[in-house]
Structure 1
Amino acid sequence: MPHTLLINPTITSRSSARFPLALLNLAAALDRRGSSRVIDGNVDRDFIRTTLHALDQGGVDAVGLSVMGGPQLAPSIELSQAIRQRHPQVPIVWGGYFPTLYTDTALAAPYVDYAIRAQGEQTMAELVGALGGQGPIEKIAGLSWKRGDEHVHNPSRHFVPGDPALQLPYDKLGDPRQYLARTFLGRRTAGHQAALGCRFRCTFCGVNAMFGGATALPAAQRLERELKYLKYELGADSVQFFDHNFFDREVEMIPLLEVMAKLEMPWWCYARADALLNLSESTWKLVRKSRLKMAYIGAESPSGKMLKEIRKGTRPDQTLEVAELCRRNGVIPELSFMVAPPVDTEEETEHTFEFIRELKRINPASEIIVYIYTPLPESAKHETDRGKRASMPLLDLNGEPVVFPATPEEWAQPQWVDYACHADAPWLTDKLRKRIHDFVTVLRCRYPTVQDMRTPRWAKHGLRTMASWRYRYRRYDQPWELDLANRWVKLRMPQVSSL
Structure 2
Amino acid sequence: MPHTLLVNPTITSRQSARFPLALLNLSVTLDRFGGSTIVDGNIDRDIVDATLRAIVENNVDAVGISVMGGPQMAPSIAVSKAVREHFPRLPIIWGGYFPTLYTDTALSAPYVDYAVRGQGEETMPDLIAALARPGRDVSRIAGMSWKDADGNVVHNPNRKFHLDDPGIVLPYDKLGDPRRYLARTFLGRRTAAHQAAIGCRFRCTFCGVAAMFGGTTQLPAAARLDRDLSYLKHTLGADSIQYFDHNFFDREEDMIPLLDVMAKHELPWWCYARSDALLNMSESTWKRVRKSKLRMAYIGAESPSGAMLKEIRKGTRPDQTLEVAELCRRHGVIPELSFMVAPPENTVEETEHTFEFIRELKRINPASEIIVYIYTPLRESSKHEKDRGKRASTPLLDMHGEPVVFPSSPEEWTEKRWVDYACHADAPWLTDDLRRHIQDFVTVLRCRFPTVQDMRSPPWAKRGLSALAAWRYQRRRYDKPWELNLANRLVKLRLPQVAGI
TM-score of the two chains, using structure 1 as the length reference: 0.99
For 1:115, the aligned partner's letter is A
Q: Deviations over 1:276-302 (max 9, x none)?
A: 000000000000000000000000000
CA drift of 1:260 comes to: 0.5
Q: Give the whole-Å Cα distance in 2 for the aligned partners of 1:58 and 1:249.
A: 44
Residue number among 180, 185, 191 corresponding to 2:182 in the alignment: 180
Q: Give the whole-Å Cα distance in 2 for the aligned partners of 1:170 and 1:237.
A: 17
CA RMSD, aligned part only?
A: 0.9
Any residues of structure 2 matched to 1:205-244 within 5 Å, and which?
205-244=207-246
Any residues of structure 2 matched to 1:317-356 within 5 Å, and which?
317-356=319-358
Q: Deviations over 1:24-64 (max 9, x none)?
A: 00000100000000000000101210111222346211000
Give yes or no for the alignment of 1:468 onto 2:470: yes
Q: Give the whole-Å Cα distance in 1 for the aligned partners of 2:129 and 2:249.
A: 37
Give yes or no for the alignment of 1:384 onto 2:389: no
Contact 1:164 1:219 (C-alpha < 8 Å) held by counterparts: no
Equivalent residue pairs, number: 499
Q: Which runs of 4+ in 1 moved over 3 A?
A: none
Contact 1:371 1:423 (C-alpha < 8 Å) held by counterparts: yes
Q: Give the whole-Å Cα distance in 2 for the aligned partners of 1:191 and 1:127.
A: 29
Q: What is the SS of the residue equivalent to 1:348?
A: helix
Residue number among 273, 288, 291 corresponding to 1:289 in the alignment: 291
Q: 1:164 to 1:86 in 2, by over 3 A?
A: closer
Q: What is the SS of the residue equivalent to 1:295?
A: strand
Q: What is the SS of the residue equivalent to 2:498?
A: coil
Residue number among 368, 374, 378 corresponding to 2:370 in the alignment: 368
Contact 2:183 2:192 (C-alpha < 8 Å) held by counterparts: yes
Q: What is the SS of the residue equivalent to 1:333?
A: strand
Contact 1:342 1:392 (C-alpha < 8 Å) held by counterparts: no
Q: Give the whole-Å Cα distance in 1 for the aligned partners of 2:290 and 2:152.
A: 55
| 1:298 alignment counterpart | 300
Contact 1:195 1:216 (C-alpha < 8 Å) held by counterparts: yes
Contact 1:238 1:267 (C-alpha < 8 Å) held by counterparts: yes
Contact 1:117 1:143 (C-alpha < 8 Å) held by counterparts: yes
Q: Give the whole-Å Cα distance in 2 for the aligned partners of 1:132 and 1:56.
A: 18
Q: 1:57 to 1:267 in 2, by over 3 A?
A: closer
Q: What is the SS of the residue equivalent to 2:270?
A: strand
Q: Deviations over 1:231-289 (max 9, x none)?
A: 00000000000000000100000000000111110000000000000000000000000
Structure 1, unaligned runs of 5 or more = none
CA drift of 1:149 comes to: 1.7
CA drift of 1:165 comes to: 1.9
Q: Which moved more, 1:163-172 or 1:465-474?
A: 163-172
Give yes or no for the alignment of 1:278 onto 2:254: no
| 1:20 alignment counterpart | 20
For 2:282, the aligned partner's letter is S
Q: What is the SS of the residue equivalent to 1:16?
A: coil
Contact 2:278 2:324 (C-alpha < 8 Å) held by counterparts: yes
Q: Give the whole-Å Cα distance in 2 for the aligned partners of 1:39 and 1:469.
A: 49
| 2:95 alignment counterpart | 95
Q: 1:105 to 1:142 in 2, by over 3 A?
A: same
CA drift of 1:166 comes to: 4.5
Q: What is the SS of the residue equivalent to 1:90?
A: coil
Q: Give the whole-Å Cα distance in 1 for the aligned partners of 2:59 and 2:468.
A: 61
CA drift of 1:392 comes to: 3.6
Contact 1:343 1:392 (C-alpha < 8 Å) held by counterparts: no
| 2:138 alignment counterpart | 137
Contact 2:3 2:36 (C-alpha < 8 Å) held by counterparts: yes
TM-score of the two chains, using structure 2 as the length reference: 0.99
CA drift of 1:164 comes to: 5.6
Any residues of structure 2 matched to 1:119-198 within 5 Å, and which?
119-133=119-133, 136-147=137-148, 148-163=150-165, 165-198=167-200
Q: What is the SS of the residue equivalent to 2:497?
A: coil
CA drift of 1:167 comes to: 2.8
| 1:43 alignment counterpart | 43
Q: Give the whole-Å Cα distance in 1 for the aligned partners of 2:326 and 2:430.
A: 33
Q: Deviations over 1:164-212 (max 9, x none)?
A: 6243101101110110000000000000000100000000000000000
Q: What is the SS of the residue equivalent to 1:79?
A: helix
Q: Give the whole-Å Cα distance in 2 for the aligned partners of 1:370 and 1:4.
A: 40
| 2:118 alignment counterpart | 118
For 1:446, the aligned partner's letter is R
Q: Deviations over 1:53-95 (max 9, x none)?
A: 2223462110000000000000000010011111101000000
Give yes or no for the alignment of 1:7 onto 2:7: yes
Q: What is the SS of the residue equivalent to 1:109?
A: coil
Q: Give the whole-Å Cα distance in 2 for the aligned partners of 1:493 and 1:278.
A: 31
Q: Give the whole-Å Cα distance in 2 for the aligned partners of 1:58 and 1:264.
A: 40
Contact 2:67 2:96 (C-alpha < 8 Å) held by counterparts: yes
| 1:264 alignment counterpart | 266
Contact 2:205 2:313 (C-alpha < 8 Å) held by counterparts: yes
Q: What is the SS of the residue equivalent to 1:65?
A: strand
Give yes or no for the alignment of 1:61 onto 2:64: no
Q: What is the SS of the residue equivalent to 2:6?
A: strand
Q: Deviations over 1:101-154 (max 9, x none)?
A: 000000000000000000011111001000011873111000100002200100
Percent identity, please.
75
Q: Give the whole-Å Cα distance in 1 for the aligned partners of 2:58 and 2:35.
A: 14
Q: Give the whole-Å Cα distance in 1 for the aligned partners of 2:394 and 2:214.
A: 21
Q: What is the SS of the residue equivalent to 2:271?
A: strand
Residue number among 399, 402, 405 corresponding to 1:403 in the alignment: 405
For 2:420, the aligned partner's letter is D
Contact 1:164 1:222 (C-alpha < 8 Å) held by counterparts: no
Give yes or no for the alignment of 1:478 onto 2:476: no
Contact 2:187 2:295 (C-alpha < 8 Å) held by counterparts: yes
Structure 2, unaligned runs of 5 or more = none
Residue number among 450, 453, 465 corresponding to 1:451 in the alignment: 453
Q: Deviations over 1:373-419 (max 9, x none)?
A: 00001010001111111224310011111000000000111000000
CA drift of 1:19 comes to: 0.3
Q: Give the whole-Å Cα distance in 2 for the aligned partners of 1:441 and 1:409.
A: 32
Q: Give the whole-Å Cα distance in 1 for the aligned partners of 2:55 and 2:297.
A: 42
For 1:60, the aligned partner's letter is V
